[in-house]
Structure 1
Amino acid sequence: METRDWIRDGLRAIAGGVLAIGLALTNFLLFVLFVVSLVLTPVLGLGLVLLPLVTRLIRARAAAARHIAGWWGVPIARPYRPRPEGTLPVGPGAYRQIVTDPATWRDFAWLLPGALVGVVLGVVSLAVPLYGIEGILLLPLWIWLGTGDYGYGAIWPIENVGDGLLSVPQGVLILTIGVLAAPYLRRADAWFTRLLLAPTRNAELRSRVTELTVTRADTVDAQAAELRRIERDLHDGAQARLVALGMTIGLAEEMVHRDPESALKLLAEARETSSTALVELRHLVRGIHPPVLAERGLDGAVRALALHLRIPTSVDSEVTERLATPVESAAYFAVAEALANVTRHSGATFAFVSIRRAGDVLHLEVGDDGAGGADPSAGTGLRGIERRLAAFDGTMSLSSPPGGPTIVTMELPCELSSPRTTLSSGTD
């Protein structure tokens, strides 16, 4: 790390210590409010209203502590149980849900210890650099004025200025130690916060089960919708043409002896119908698993997709190896849906796709220079991308301020396909 970097981190940590001292005061206030709201519960039911409100404040304070801990490389997940549907924000239902949530009591248990640890570490991270600055600036000044006193009752005469200036290198050393140690003190505070505010093992498992339940339901719904689409396309397209083809050939059979010329026309029409049905079947198969994806992999398929867009689209990909087939398919269709949004809604003149792989995570970015303001709740296909990625524990984030640009960032756990899979994919 360069000198400029550790100085910047140290100053940021010292500022974080000052912030921790200030936030500690809110911990004490919230502790008192929580106790009061519990005591007032039997009194006219005031706690049924007051406790949920105070708990919201405590959770907001705890969320701020988790966010600050994340600044120092200590991520802390939210441990709270979701509020049941139909439950009011205040009242008996909300009160019951709050007091039965273990995370509520962990937040409460953290308030005072978290405040004390934050104050102590904040004071240390602030006092040591200040003491070093005192040695550099103030002590030589006091000695020069003949009023320097180190606590031993000895007043340094003005002729000992040279000896007094020895405090300058000592101050520099203390200041350096303080600046270097401040980030470690902030991380120690973050780890203590994580000790009390992080989800327990049971809470993590419960949250994971809930997430998987929602993901499975979304996946089942998406698969059902996809099956309905395929059935509808078959029924309205290829199936109807194949039925017409059979009827045309039947008429030709009846007319082949008594009107050969008309029969030939019907057979020519049947040939055209069969070609059209074949094209529709190819389009349908391409919608299920594009042949170009099986032949060229994700990199080649996305580049081929970009060539057919009506706006210039650049593709920057570092992933040339083959991935597992389900992952390739999910990533391809997610990029395709994002690019479809660009062409339909953004009004952009340029788009880009970036594909990276870091370890076992595939990173995808699709961006444009359009009008921005994309909203997943507006039915622009972004929810579909989220559902598609969630089936693989993937995530999607969106940055689309009004006026643009819009950037869709997707992450997808992935693994390389086996050599056998790669070989078969390339020879089919």
Structure 2
Amino acid sequence: MRWGQGWVQAWRGGVYLLGALLSGVVTVLALPLLCVPRLARLWADWHGERAGRLLGTPPAPAATRGRTARALLWLPVHAVTGLALGLPALLCAGNIVVGVIAASLWWAFGPDDGPKLFMDIPVHGWVTALTFGPLQIVLLSILAYLSFPPVARVHARICLAVLAHTAQEQLAERVAVLTRTRADVLDAHGAELRRIERDLHDGTQARLVAIALRLAVARQAFADNPRDEQLVAGLLRDAHEGTEEAMTELREVVRTVYPPILADRGLDGALTAVTTRCGIPTRLDMGELERVPAAVEAVVYFAVAEALTNVTKHSGATAAGVRLGRSADRLSVVITDNGTGGADDRRGTGIAGIRRRVHALDGTVVVDSPAGGPTAITVELPCGW
């Protein structure tokens, strides 16, 4: 991890822990109110989503759909873990602020009201302020850098573990997801068929009709006046040009159904072409994938192409990467960039389309895109059919 990314993770971890401390205090103070089933579920769901964002994994909304018992169990667990893990973070961050104040503004306080540093050391002069003050800032900053991210992840994992599904609930949730994705696939399939029919009818078919008319006119003209070669040649030239235009349109229609480049070059060559055409430098790393079903190849191709298009248009990144690997019957694709982050399905950035394609094959999509970046989109697909 780069130094800058490490500080970003430390900042995110610190904000998460301070938020956990604050919400833990709220949980203790408002416990009777939060024991109301609906409020308990909303409170637990919010923490599940928050933990999922920190870990970069889909949250486990086990408290929803009537599963109130798990939400009520989460209340005392969060009250204990939020206070126990958040309070040290507050002390660390607070003493960093104290160090800054002591090093720069000690003179603004009275002799008995000034800030105090390590081991209750009072600051009454510049020597103490400029030695112990920066020392306290540096040591506590290093402590925050090293401890905030793992401690925050511990709390997030506890949250998700308490709110996790049972085997039966996981099966029910899986059935619900498959039902939704099946409906989405059927809708998308119907829309795609209508689009192809419209493209063929309005474009290719219209051109073919025009070609047929030109050829009929040419035949009639040749029958009426065989010596008028210029007229016949002009009609045949128009028909030939129309044929080429119809073939071009037909190729474009076919390309949207299944990219010919996949059939010509395979997944490796297709992704090489996509990353080469990307508007920013993009590195492609491909492990040993063995045989991959054609449907999975198409989804991977479209997902990478869409993600890199988003990177070029929206992220402000200067570099991107695509990494493919396979573990047993799961194919994983990770698309990264060093842009500004903040990728969100609801903003029309194409991630929703990627999710629909991936979910149709019973795959998963995880987006880790904090404000300020970097962004990582992880796609996993089953490929052991």
The verdict on a shared fold, with TM-score over 0.5 as the criterion, is yes
Letter in 2 for 1:207: E
Aligned partners of 1:246 and 1:360: how far apart in 2?
Answer: 51
Aligned partners of 2:277 and 2:71: how far apart in 1?
Answer: 54
The 5 Å alignment of 1:357-368 reads: 357-368=326-337
Aligned partners of 2:231 and 2:313: how far apart in 1?
Answer: 46
Alignment pair present for 1:79 and 2:62: yes
- Structure 1 residues 204 and 110, CA, compared in 2 at 3 Å: closer, same or farther? same
Letter in 2 for 1:225: A
Aligned partners of 2:209 and 2:302: how far apart in 1?
Answer: 31
**Alignment deviations for residues 355-376 of structure 1 (CA, whole Å, 9 cap, x no partner):** 1112222111223344444332
Asked if structure 1 preserves the Cα contact closer than 8 Å seen for 2:40 and 2:71, the reply is no
- Which of 372, 375, 397 in structure 1 is aligned with 2:344? 375
Aligned partners of 2:32 and 2:178: how far apart in 1?
Answer: 38
Alignment pair present for 1:344 and 2:310: no
- Structure 1 residues 262 and 344, CA, compared in 2 at 3 Å: closer, same or farther? farther
Aligned partners of 1:409 and 1:229: how far apart in 2?
Answer: 29
Which one has a bigger Cα radius of gyration?
1
Asked if structure 1 preserves the Cα contact closer than 8 Å seen for 2:317 and 2:338, the reply is yes
Alignment pair present for 1:104 and 2:68: yes
Letter in 2 for 1:337: E
- Which of 326, 346, 351 in structure 1 is aligned with 2:295? 326
Partner of 1:415: 384
- Which of 170, 194, 200 in structure 2 is aligned with 1:234? 200
- Give the number of equivalent residue pairs: 289
SS in 1 for 2:63: coil
The 5 Å alignment of 1:297-336 reads: 297-336=266-305
Asked if structure 2 preserves the Cα contact closer than 8 Å seen for 1:302 and 1:332, the reply is yes
The 5 Å alignment of 1:257-268 reads: 257=223, 258=225, 259-268=228-237
Measured after TM superposition, the shift of residue 274 of structure 1 is 0.9
Partner of 1:291: 260
Measured after TM superposition, the shift of residue 55 of structure 1 is 4.9
- Which of 208, 218, 225 in structure 1 is aligned with 2:191? 225
Measured after TM superposition, the shift of residue 245 of structure 1 is 0.8
Alignment pair present for 1:269 and 2:238: yes
**Alignment deviations for residues 62-104 of structure 1 (CA, whole Å, 9 cap, x no partner):** x59x969x99xxx99432344xxxxxxxxxxxxxxxxxx2x21
- Structure 1 residues 299 and 395, CA, compared in 2 at 3 Å: closer, same or farther? same
- TM-score (normalised: structure 1): 0.56
- Which of 171, 190, 214 in structure 1 is aligned with 2:180? 214
Aligned partners of 1:404 and 1:368: how far apart in 2?
Answer: 8
SS in 1 for 2:380: strand
Measured after TM superposition, the shift of residue 264 of structure 1 is 1.5
- Structure 1 residues 346 and 53, CA, compared in 2 at 3 Å: closer, same or farther? closer
Aligned partners of 2:271 and 2:318: how far apart in 1?
Answer: 19
SS in 1 for 2:333: strand
Partner of 1:204: 170
Measured after TM superposition, the shift of residue 276 of structure 1 is 1.9
Measured after TM superposition, the shift of residue 409 of structure 1 is 2.1
- Structure 1 residues 217 and 57, CA, compared in 2 at 3 Å: closer, same or farther? same
- TM-score (normalised: structure 2): 0.62
Deviates more, 1:396-405 or 1:385-394: 396-405
The 5 Å alignment of 1:147-166 reads: none
> 4+ runs of 1 displaced by more than 6 Å?
23-31, 109-112
SS in 1 for 2:284: strand
Aligned partners of 1:24 and 1:405: how far apart in 2?
Answer: 30
Letter in 2 for 1:378: R
The 5 Å alignment of 1:54-65 reads: 54-57=40-43, 63=48
Measured after TM superposition, the shift of residue 384 of structure 1 is 0.4
Tell me the percent identity: 44
5+ residue gaps, structure 2: 1-22, 85-153
Aligned partners of 1:284 and 1:59: how far apart in 2?
Answer: 44
- Structure 1 residues 253 and 81, CA, compared in 2 at 3 Å: closer, same or farther? same
Measured after TM superposition, the shift of residue 334 of structure 1 is 1.0
Letter in 1 for 2:258: H
Letter in 1 for 2:174: R
Measured after TM superposition, the shift of residue 412 of structure 1 is 1.6
SS in 1 for 2:362: coil
- Structure 1 residues 28 and 343, CA, compared in 2 at 3 Å: closer, same or farther? closer
Aligned partners of 1:298 and 1:352: how far apart in 2?
Answer: 16
C-alpha root-mean-square deviation of aligned residues, in Å? 4.1
Measured after TM superposition, the shift of residue 346 of structure 1 is 3.5
The 5 Å alignment of 1:166-181 reads: none
- Structure 1 residues 291 and 201, CA, compared in 2 at 3 Å: closer, same or farther? same
